[in-house]
């Protein structure tokens, strides 16, 4: 499917998830996105890593809403001279927020797994995102892995020389590592600029050129959007 359609559909579904009052639609959306991810062959470990931080946030929201928000007591615990009250309405509010977070993260994860980086940037350019932002993002993504390799080389060299044997030496080594990467990034930006200018770069990237929409994809997307819209209204 065209990346532009996927981004538009994702934005629409995100607004539907955020504005929905209840559990049904976010849970359905989360389940569909996870099902599509498994159908694409995404390993469970990768999904678990992608959802680790959102799951932690969801758990914290549930705890805060359950024990600090609400008026209808669900459970009263007396422990060590203190009383802890869990509220039913607070728990329901926390579950609704957690369901929205899970559905939203699932939508973004599905978009990232099914869309290449260059296709994603091309779709953003069609959505009138400033070209300067897209170009900087593209070059950053291109050389980010180079900087990671340089960081690993420096880190291993410092580690072999006991640079992280104590807290003081570790902080000093980390400062040297950060400074070296900063200088490396600055030098790489100058080298990249000179190389692009010498190759006749004039600010236009080939990936920003778009093909025409395919009618089958548009019709299929509208049908799916109509089905999900019906579930959202119900």
pLDDT computed for residue 208 by the predictor: 56
Residue 134's pLDDT is: 82
DSSP per-residue letters across 14-59: HHHHHH--SSHHHHHHHHHHHHHHHHTT--HHHHHHHTHHHHHHHH
Round to whole Å and give the CA distance between 13 and 107: 8
Answer yes or no: do 157 and 58 share one domain.
no
* Euclidean distance between CA atoms 31 and 138, whole angstroms: 32
Give the residues of the chain that fall short of pLDDT 70: 203-210
How many separate domains does the chain show? 2
Q: Count CA atoms within 13 Å of residue 183 on its CB side.
A: 5
Does residue 150 fall inside a structural domain? yes
Question: At residue 20, what are phi and psi to the nearest 5 degrees?
Answer: -75, 135
Q: Is residue 152 situated within a structural domain? A: yes
Q: Which domain holds residue 86?
A: 3-115+211-233
Distance from the Cα of residue 132 to its chain's centroid: 22
Task: Let me know if residue 31 belongs to a domain.
Answer: yes
Q: Which two tokens stand for residue 98?
A: 């957690």
Do the domain assignments include residue 188? yes
Task: Judge whether 11 lies within some domain.
Answer: yes
Question: What is the reported pLDDT for 26?
Answer: 92
If asked whether residues 142 and 86 sit together in one domain, one would say no
- Please give the Cα distance from 161 to 169 (Å, whole number): 11
Is 215 in the same domain as 158? no
What is the pTM assigned to this prediction? 0.77
> Are 17 and 105 within one domain?
yes
Are residues 57 and 140 located together in one domain of the fold? no
Q: Are 21 and 108 in a shared domain? A: yes
Q: Does residue 94 share a domain with residue 55?
A: yes
Q: What is the pLDDT of residue 203?
A: 66
């Amino acid at each position: 499917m065209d990346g532009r359609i996927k981004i538009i559909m994702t934005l629409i579904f995100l607004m539907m998830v955020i504005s929905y009052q209840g559990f049904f639609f976010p849970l359905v959306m989360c389940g569909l996105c996870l099902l599509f991810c498994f159908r694409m062959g995404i390993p469970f470990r990768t999904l678990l890593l992608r959802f680790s931080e959102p799951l932690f946030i969801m758990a914290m929201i549930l705890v805060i809403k359950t024990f600090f928000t609400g008026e209808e007591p669900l459970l009263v615990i007396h422990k060590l001279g203190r009383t802890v009250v869990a509220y039913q309405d607070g728990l329901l509010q926390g579950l609704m927020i957690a369901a929205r977070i899970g559905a939203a993260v699932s939508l973004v994860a599905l978009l990232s797994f099914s869309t290449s980086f260059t296709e994603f940037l091309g779709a953003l350019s069609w959505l009138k995102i400033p070209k300067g932002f897209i170009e900087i993002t593209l070059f950053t993504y291109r050389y980010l892995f180079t900087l990671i390799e340089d960081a690993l080389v420096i880190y291993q060299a410092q580690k072999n020389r006991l640079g992280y044997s104590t807290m003081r030496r570790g902080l000093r080594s980390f400062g040297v590592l950060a400074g070296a990467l900063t200088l490396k990034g600055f030098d790489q930006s100058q080298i990249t600029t000179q190389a692009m200018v010498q190759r006749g770069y004039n600010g236009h990237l080939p990936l920003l050129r778009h093909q025409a929409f395919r009618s089958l994809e548009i019709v299929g997307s509208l049908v799916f959007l109509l089905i999900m819209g019906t579930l959202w209204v119900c």
